[in-house]
Chain A
Amino acid sequence: MQTLYNFATGPLLWASFAIFLAGSVWRIYSMIALARKKEMSVYAYMSWGFSFRSIFRWLTPFGTLGWKANPAMTVGTFAFHLCLLLLLLFAPGHAEMWDYNFGLAIWSLPEWLADTLTVVVIACCAFFAFRRLRVPAVRYVTTTHDWAVLLLVFLPFISAFLAKMQLGNTLFMTLLHVLSAEAVLIAIPFTRLSHAIFSPFTRAYMGSEFGGVRHCPDW
C-alpha cells in the first residue's frame, strides 16, 4: 500500500495534473474553435467590461435574483466552493505537496480551521445530495452522472476527514483521498465538473449579450 501511495503522490499526481491541464486547454480550445466556426456573433458581442460585470456580480453572495431566491443554495454553493478552493490551496497536508512536487513554499491553514472547512464541504455535499433526493425540481432532472460527480467530489473530503480523525485505516484513507482527488482533477475537463472551466465563459457571454445587446442586467 505504501508503494501504491508513493506512486499515487508521485507519478500519478503529475499525470493527473497533466491530464487536467491538457484536457482543460483542449476543451477550451475546442469550444473557442467551434464558436469561431459556427457562432461568430458570440465573438462579436463579447465585451470585457460586461463579462467582468456579470462575473463579479454572480460572485457576490445574494447579489443576484437567483441567489436571493435560493438562500440555502446560495450559502451552500458559496461555502462549498470557497472551502474547497481554500483547502485545495492551503490545506496543511497540501503545503507539503506543493513544496515536494513544485518547490513552492505556501502558507497553510491552521489545522483546526482546515478541519472545520472540510466538515463544511462535507456538509455541503450532504446538502446537495439532500436536494437531489428531496427537492422535486432537482430530483426530476438528476441523472446518474450528477450522482457520480457528487460522489467523486465528496470522496476526497470524507477520506481526508476520516484520515485526520484516524477513523479506519489511515494510510488507506489517505490513499483514497489522493486517488479520489486525482480522479476529480481528471474528471473536471470531461464531466459536468467542467463547469469549473466553462462557467467563466458562459457567464461572460451572458453578461456581454445582456450588457451589449439587451442593455439590461443579467442578474
Chain B
Amino acid sequence: MGIADRRIEDGNLMQAVAKLTPEKIKAAYELVTKGEAGARLSTYYQSCMRCGMCAQACHFSISHPDDPSYTPVGKMDQTMWKLIRQKGEVTPDEVYGMAQIAYTECNMCKRCVHYCPVGIDTGFITSLVRRFCYRLGVVPTYILDTAHSHSAVMNQMWVKQDEWIDSLIWQEDEARGEFPNLRVPLEKEGAEILYSVIAPEPKFRTQLIYQAAAIMHEAGLDWTMPALPGWDNSDMCMFVGDSEMMGRLKRCHYEMAQRLKVKRIVMGECGHAFRSVYDTGNRWLGFKDWPVPVVHSVEFFWELLTTGKIKIPKKFDKPVTIHDPCNITRGYGLMDKLREVVHMLCDKVVEMSPNREHTICCCAGGGIINCGPPFKSVRVAGNKAKADQLAATGVEYLVAPCHNCHGGLEDIIGHYKLGMHTKFLGDLIYQLMEKTRAE
C-alpha cells in the first residue's frame, strides 16, 4: 500500500526525477523547510497526533476505504512527514511519489480541517510539498505548461493579446444578434465593475463571455473588460509551487484594476482564482487584504437578483442540487448566498449531504484537473464519494459555480453513468432572465 504501488507515468515527472541527485533533493528540502517555511510547518509536524481522525474527511480516502495511504495524514506521512523524519534524505523515486501525491491526490480543499482537533492544515502542508517538488522541477507536464504560459503571457493558455481582444469583439458581435445595442466596453476607465475571467473562456468557452455580457447588459451596469494583460485571474503558478510567478500574476491582475480605476473586480464562476486573490497571492505580495476587492459571481448574481436588476419571470422547473465549491464556501463563506441564488432561480432544490462548508470536493480543483489526461483516472476513482452523493439526490441537474468543479463533476458523472447535467449559475440566469433589451 502506498504511492509506489500506483505510479502513473508522466513525461516531465520521469524526466525531472531522472536528473535528481541526493544533494539536489537535500538542498531543495533545506530551502523549503528551513529557508522558506516557518513556525506552522514545525508546529504542525510535532503536534499532528497521527490519530487518523481526518481519514473520513477526504474524498480520496472515502473512495478508497481500504487504503489508508489516501487519508490526509497518510498523504502527509508519505510526503512532508517523511521528508522531515529523514532530513530530506529520500530517493528520486520517492520524490516521484511525493509529487504524484501532492499534485494529483490532494486537491487542497481543506475539508480535513473540519476533522482535526489540533488544527493541522493539510492543504498547507501539500502546498509545501508542491513547493519542494517544484524546486526540483518534478511537476506534472500539463500543469507546468500552464504555469509557463502564465509567466510568458500572463494567462494560462498561451492566449496572445490580440486573440483575447478579438474574442471579446467577436462575442460582442455575436451578442448583438440577440441584444441589438449590447456593448462589451473595453478598457473603460472609471467603470464600477471590471469583469475578469480565466483563460479557458476565450479559448474554449466563449459562450460564458457572451452570457456574462448579456447579464451585464440586461442589468444596465457600468462595467468594463480589460484589453491588456492581467485579464486572466487564474493562477496555476500557485498550484505548481511557483510562488514568485504567483505573486507576479496577482500583481498584474490588481494593477490592471488599479490602472482602470474601477471600484471592484467581478470574476466569473471560478474557485481557485478566488483563492489566489484573497488568500495566497496577496500574502506573497505583502498585502493583508486584497488591494482591490474581488467579487465572486455568486455574490454578484445575488446582488443582481436581490436588487431586481435581473428578473426571473419563471424559475427553472426541474429539481436541481447544489455543489459547494471549496474555494468559495470553505474558502470564503459564500454557502448561504449560493443557496439564495439557486432558490431564486429554481423551483426545487434537493440538498446533498454533507453540503455547505462541509462539501465534498469535486476532485478537479487544486490543480489536479490541470495535470491532464494521465491523471484523469485518479480523479475519477478518487471521487466515488462525490458520485455516490450525487446519485443519492436523484435529480438530473447540478449547479456548480466553478470551472474546475464543472470539469471534475462532468467526468465523474460520465464515468459513473449518473446521467446528470451540470450548470453554471450564469447558464441558468442567462436562460431564465427577463430579456427586456433583446430584439
A: residues with CB less than 8 A from B are 31-32, 34-35, 37-39, 41-42, 44-45, 54, 58, 64-67, 69-70, 73, 77, 131, 135-143, 146, 191-192, 194-195, 198-199, 201-207, 209-210, 213-219
Contacts and interface: CB of A to CB of B under 8 A. Distances in A.
B56 A216 contact: no
Interface stretch (B35-43, B236-244, B250-258): B35-43
Nearest to B85: A143
Given A66-B117, A136-B68, A210-B113, A141 B74 contact: yes
Given A140-B77, A192-B47, A214 B330 contact: yes
A216 B332 contact: yes
Given A140-B68, A191-B46, A205-B40, 14 more contacts: A32-B39, A34-B39, A37-B38, A41-B288, A65-B115, A66-B117, A69-B57, A138-B50, A139-B68, A194-B46, A195-B49, A198-B47, A198-B118, A201-B43
Contact of B66 (A42, A45, A77, A136): A136
Interface of B: 1, 36-40, 42-44, 46-57, 61, 66, 68-69, 71, 73-74, 77, 81, 85, 113-121, 278-279, 283, 288, 329-333, 335, 354, 357-358
A131 B114 contact: no
Contact of A38 (B39, B43, B278): B39
Contacts, number: 150
A143 B46 contact: no
Nearest to A70: B53
B50 A142 contact: yes
A131 B68 CA distance: 13
B50 A206 contact: no
Given A41-B288, A198-B46, A35 B39 contact: yes
Contacts of B56: 69-70
B38 A213 contact: no
Given A54-B119, A218-B114, A141 B39 contact: no
- Among B40, B44, B77, B121, chain A packs the most CB atoms within 10 A around the CB of B40
A195 B283 contact: no
A214 B334 CA distance: 9
